[in-house]
Amino acid sequence: MARIAVVAGDGIGPEVVAQARKVLDAVLPGVQATEYDLGAARWHRTGEVLPDSVLTELAGHDAILLGAVGDPTVPPGVLERGLLLKLRFAFDQYVNLRPSRLWPGVAGPLGNVKPGEVDLVVVREGTEGLYAGAGGSLHRDTPAEVATEESLNTRHGVERVIRDAFARADRRERRKVTLVHKTNVLTHAGSLWARAFAAVAAEHPDVTTEYQHVDAAAMFLVTQPQRYDVVVTDNLFGDILTDIAAAVTGGIGLAASGCINPEGAYPSMFEPVHGSAPDIAGQGVADPVAAVLSVALLLEQLGHADAAARVNAAVAAELAGRTPGATLRTAEVGDRLAAHSVA
Amino acid sequence: MARIAVVAGDGIGPEVVAQARKVLDAVLPGVQATEYDLGAARWHRTGEVLPDSVLTELAGHDAILLGAVGDPTVPPGVLERGLLLKLRFAFDQYVNLRPSRLWPGVAGPLGNVKPGEVDLVVVREGTEGLYAGAGGSLHRDTPAEVATEESLNTRHGVERVIRDAFARADRRERRKVTLVHKTNVLTHAGSLWARAFAAVAAEHPDVTTEYQHVDAAAMFLVTQPQRYDVVVTDNLFGDILTDIAAAVTGGIGLAASGCINPEGAYPSMFEPVHGSAPDIAGQGVADPVAAVLSVALLLEQLGHADAAARVNAAVAAELAGRTPGATLRTAEVGDRLAAHSVA
Ligand SMILES: CC(C)[C@H](C(=O)O)[C@@H](O)C(=O)O
Ligand SMILES: CC(C)[C@H](C(=O)O)[C@@H](O)C(=O)O
């Protein structure tokens, strides 16, 4: 039976994770869930972010379900570098998977894009680039201060995530992969990405390919999001593009993500993109859909494609039935989704 | 009398620049314009991108008006690094100014945003960051290949562009500056930007400030572009955010930009954001509005605020009078704008 580590975290994290667990229990009875107390609250209480002992315990699970960590009272970087990015890097989660669909019933911000027309997935590299933590500063707080950030890219790291993107495209209807980078300015990393992309593309003659600069892609995600199927890109570009993709498909309240180690050597991690949203925490009004869609990604990764499909169908029914502007209650949505997800 | 260097460039560059010059001649009679042949065509013909002698000649002008350079037949980076970025760096154009307005008469892609509601300007740093050209690679074309790109940030460079952003905010109605960075991941550069921002903000108590991570800003530019007044950010984030801002205000066909050396030690450069658009070049259907709005920025920089206001008013009238979907003729638009720009 699957062993899932649950990190509910801060803000609305515990509220949405409770619903995600209802759904998980409904579709995968007997799943073993262990809760881990990590995030801003623990850091405030104990000064600890991610003790080594916890990291070791997490490694023994099949997957991690994460709600949200973070709070304005914690200095920038502490939880991001110490917890989220630490897990992504320690567990070699090199595929940061972020699907975006404009679901029927959801009013997106784009006047000329209809529900059902957008169905894309961004395969964001998760273990390299500007997220490597390579950088420093000199002469801090003087007029001579200089600060650097270095983007590290390896053929190993770039090629494997591109391979994953093509494998996903092979399983989709449109079979198209768009590489996004900035080869005209970041010529060294850009050339590595472009050459690795061309090499993998040659092995997939049935997949259509295109290349776009990141600035053009940011624009086309707004003007023509329909054109994308699978998008593969580096860590930082992926961070930005997936928030745009979320925005044009109804907001991060609906956006799920998976930080995946495809080989299963380490646990993969699944989390809603929305973050802890301290402003609405504790009111029972957070939308649990993103957390529940993250459960669907988790199920798919663990080989339960049928269960994943049922969860997606339950979400589709839920969203199609919503009245625009109506207040939702987190727990009621969770109950409905759990009930509809049962076979 | 102002001496302007004109680089019409490639693709639709010459077509739109011809209209921009009509307008410039109309509002500033007697302006001395000298044409420089630079871009893809010259590179193909002579192998030259920007000879030192031309760089020296350009330095003797009050401003540069650029149409567009680039063509798919030129390898990525050649014209970008060798011409556009070379000019920005050689002429210390540290303020890359990109205003975005949703003009009355323009149908933007956002269903819930009305013309007149969006009026923001991005002050993008233009001489540092990942554009510094610091990077390299090892073991090219082997499985061991590694490629790096380094973001270089100095207190000098960061503080001066932030100062410029606050000075602009001081002259605007809403007096608000948003800093965009990624301080939670790019902690070294992020900290430098945040501390420089706080220091300059302390000197401007009348200016409202806020901070957003780049992924959040990319999202809010789509969902609530109205919230922004002045946005200050680094070179690469600015590249991406300005294309989103252009997209939500009717497309890069209307987006103007200025690469400005505020002290006037070197010429500033003004160009439409749209690029050479080889697919529609030579047909006389390119929209010259972005080039003409770039002339307005040029006029403002050279101290001709009245003339700039007249050009902006002519553009406003032109856009308000357009029939959605109607084909435009580049030269006719140029004639109308020139006629309306005269005092
Ligand atoms: C919180 C932050 C470190 C993270 C990232 O930048 O990857 C977040 O924005 C995300 O997209 O998951
Ligand atoms: C052409 C390219 C070098 C340039 C940039 O990245 O700055 C362009 O995208 C722009 O925004 O002016």
Q: How much is the pLDDT for A53?
A: 97
Residue B212's closest chain A neighbor by CA?
A76
Domains of chain B, with CATH numbers? 1-94+261-343 (3.40.718.10), 95-246 (3.40.718.10)
pLDDT at B252: 87
B299-334: per-residue pLDDT in tens? 999 999 999 999 999 999 999 999 878 889 999 999
Please, how many CA atoms are within 13 Å of residue B248, restricted to the half-sphere of its CB?
33
Mean pLDDT across the stretch B124-151?
Answer: 98
Residue B335, pLDDT > 80, answer yes
**Does A205 reach chain B within 8 Å, measured CB to CB?**
no
pLDDT tens digits, one per residue of B245-291: 999 999 888 999 999 999 999 999 999 999 999 999 999 999 999 99
The pLDDT-based confidence of B146 (bands split at 50, 70, 90) is very high
Q: pLDDT of A121-148, one tens digit each?
A: 999 999 999 999 999 999 999 999 999 9
pLDDT on residue B324: 79
At residue B84, does pLDDT exceed 80?
Answer: yes
Helix, strand, or coil (residue A323): coil
Query: For residue B215, which atom of ligand 1 is closest to its CA?
Result: 9
pLDDT digits (tens, 9 = 90+) for A273-302: 999 999 999 999 999 999 999 999 999 999
User: pLDDT tens-digit profile of A21-75?
Assistant: 999 999 999 999 999 999 999 999 999 999 999 999 999 999 999 999 999 999 9
Chain B CB contacts of A102 under 8 Å are none
**Dist CA B212 CA B192 (whole Å):** 15
Mean residue pLDDT of chain A comes to 97
Residues in A touching B112 (Cβ below 8 Å): 109
**A26 DSSP 8-state letter:** H
**Least CB–CB distance from B244: residue in A190, A195, A219:** A219
Separate counts of helices (H) and strands (E) for chain B: 12, 12
The pLDDT assigned to A146 comes to: 98
Condensed to tens digits (0 to 9), the pLDDT of residues A158-185 reads 999 999 999 999 999 999 999 999 999 9
What is the mean predicted confidence (pLDDT) over B202-206? 98
Q: Specify whether B266 is catalytic.
A: no
B84 lines ligand 2 (CB under 6 A): yes
Q: Report the range of poorest mean pLDDT among B47-56, B217-226, B319-328.
A: B319-328
For B29-128, where are the E strands, in sequence order?
A: 32-35, 63-68, 95-101, 119-125
Per-residue confidence band for B64, with pLDDT thresholds at 50, 70 and 90: very high
Portion 35-74 of B in contact with A at CB < 8 A: none
B131 part of the active site: yes
A86, pLDDT greater than 90? yes
Shortest alpha-carbon distance between residue B182 and chain A (Å): 9
The pair of three-digit structure tokens given for residue A46, joined into one six-digit string:
């104990």
Assess whether pLDDT exceeds 80 at residue A343: no
Smallest CA–CA distance, residue B232 to chain A, in Å, is 17
Nearest atom of ligand 1 to the alpha carbon of A85 = 3
pLDDT at residue A76, as a whole number: 85
* Encoded amino acid at A342, one letter: V
Give the pairing type, strands A256-260 and A268-272: antiparallel
Residues B235 and B96: beta-carbon distance below 8 Å = yes
pLDDT digits (tens, 9 = 90+) for A105-118: 998 999 999 999 99
- Judge whether residue A216 has pLDDT over 80: yes
Averaged pLDDT score across all residues of chain B: 97
CB contact under 8 A, B240 and A218: yes
Q: What is the pLDDT of residue A77?
A: 87
Q: Where are the beta strands (DSSP E) in chain B?
A: 3-9, 32-35, 63-68, 95-101, 119-125, 129-138, 146-154, 176-181, 208-213, 230-233, 256-260, 268-272
Binding-face residues of A in 72-91 toward B, CB within 8 A = 76-77, 80-81, 85
pLDDT higher than threshold 80 for residue A232: yes
Distance from CA of A307 to the nearest CA of B (A): 31
> What pTM was computed for the model?
0.97
The DSSP letter of residue B110 is B
Nearest by CB to residue B149, choosing from A151, A184, A246, is A151
